[in-house]
Amino acid sequence: MKGEEFLREYLDWSDLIKMTLAAEPLNAEPLSVAPKGIVVLGMGGSGIVGDVLYSLSTERLETPLTVVKDFRLPRWVDDGWLTLAVSYSGNTVETLACVDEALKRGSQVVVVASGGKLTELSMLKRLPYFRVPSGRTPRSSFPALLLGAVKLLSSLGINLREASELDVVEVFKSEEALKLGDELAGKLLSRLPVFISATKYYPLALRAKDEFNENTKTIAKAEVYPEGFHNDVVGWEGWRDPVSAVIFKERGDRTLEFLKELLAEAGVDTHTYELDGGYLQNVIRWSQVVGIASVNLALRLGIDPKETRFIAKYKEFLRSSDQLE
């Protein structure tokens, strides 16, 4: 069955990671002048890379890094900024519009893609470029997009990873992810999933939400804490719908422990997963688990996990629309 083949695109992440770590970016040399700031472009499955890089940057960079998921670049991005465009297809309209604007403003543009217009542009203008394997979906290519971006930035002299961190992500146990994913799918059957994390792990909660949206075709939510203690938590006081809370929590995170107590008091069906590796390792490993869980749940429900009909319709709408010309 088609969906089962798609599951393999999540189970082969170990090989995908090895291939990505072995590949080298093109046209990439250390920048002669450090950028004033870095803007990361990308939508959906490609855009999540920007969220991870943002979280890493808050602890590991002196340079500000911001994420744009829109048609327009902020006014303050100028020729002193580095623009990293991530698009699996290389054809995403929002990303292309910002790249066009960044080039006009004289910003150095660098690209992660598997093909499309962004690849053509990179070849034409000899832009620093990392090519990821084609023929997959953006979401099942997540480790390639993320590690490709980390490698590309590192070859420009911007180091977002801790020593040996990339070696650690190589050691993946797909059988374990399959087991955890199957279990999580069972827990979320006929329930609306709410993925919760600390701010630092927002990209993981968002990844999980997006995976359930796209693979399982269900509404899902991502919430981050401590911000959630100022709003979301009150919603749990009076929850009525068949919802489940899935918490991704670092060991020793006392605020999320406290949240668990509140959810238990409110009788919420809650599942907690402990994150106990390095940051990149945790994000990739648990993204694999939620990817598998969302595909597994789709298969149980007789849904095609791969097809994303409304995204395709939106892209068709953009192609046929002249509002954006």
Which residues contact ligand F6R by CB under 6 A? Answer: 43-46, 87-89, 92, 95, 137-139, 214, 308, 311
Name the DSSP class of 190. T
In the bound state with ligand F6R, the residue whose beta carbon lies nearer, of 216 and 270, is: 216
Q: How many CA atoms are closer than 13 Å to the CA of 280, on its beta-carbon side?
A: 30
Catalytically annotated residue among 214, 223, 249, 306: 214
Rounded to the nearest 5°, which phi and psi values hold at 300? -60, -35
Catalytically annotated residue among 36, 69, 271, 315: 315
Helix, coil or strand: residue 249 = strand
The closest residue (CB) to ligand F6R is: 44
Is 221 an active-site residue?
no
Helix, coil or strand: residue 298 = helix
In the bound state with ligand F6R, the residue whose beta carbon lies nearer, of 95 and 281, is: 95
Is 230 an active-site residue?
yes
Supply the minimum distance, in Å, between the C-beta of residue 4 and ligand F6R: 18
Strands across the sheet containing 129-131 = 65-68, 37-41, 81-87, 108-113, 129-131
In the bound state with ligand F6R, the residue whose beta carbon lies nearer, of 218 and 270, is: 218
Name the pairing type of β-strands 129-131 and 108-113.
Answer: parallel
Supply the minimum distance, in Å, between the C-beta of residue 308 and ligand F6R: 5
Is 315 an active-site residue?
yes
Catalytically annotated residue among 5, 230, 261, 325: 230
Supply the minimum distance, in Å, between the C-beta of residue 130 and ligand F6R: 14
In the bound state with ligand F6R, the residue whose beta carbon lies nearer, of 139 and 260, is: 139
Supply the minimum distance, in Å, between the C-beta of residue 312 and ligand F6R: 9
Sole residue written with tokens 């953009």? 318
Token representation of residue 183: 């279990």
In the bound state with ligand F6R, the residue whose beta carbon lies nearer, of 71 and 239, is: 71
Whether residue 63 contacts residue 38, with contact meaning beta carbons closer than 8 Å, is answered with yes
CA dihedral of 281, 286, 292, 298, whole degrees rounded to 10: -150
User: What is the b/e burial string over 59-75, where b = at least 16 CB atoms within 10 angstroms of the residue's CB?
Assistant: eebeeebbbbbeeebee
Supply the minimum distance, in Å, between the C-beta of residue 179 and ligand F6R: 24
Token representation of residue 88: 């699996």
Task: Catalogue the active-site residues.
Answer: 214, 230, 315
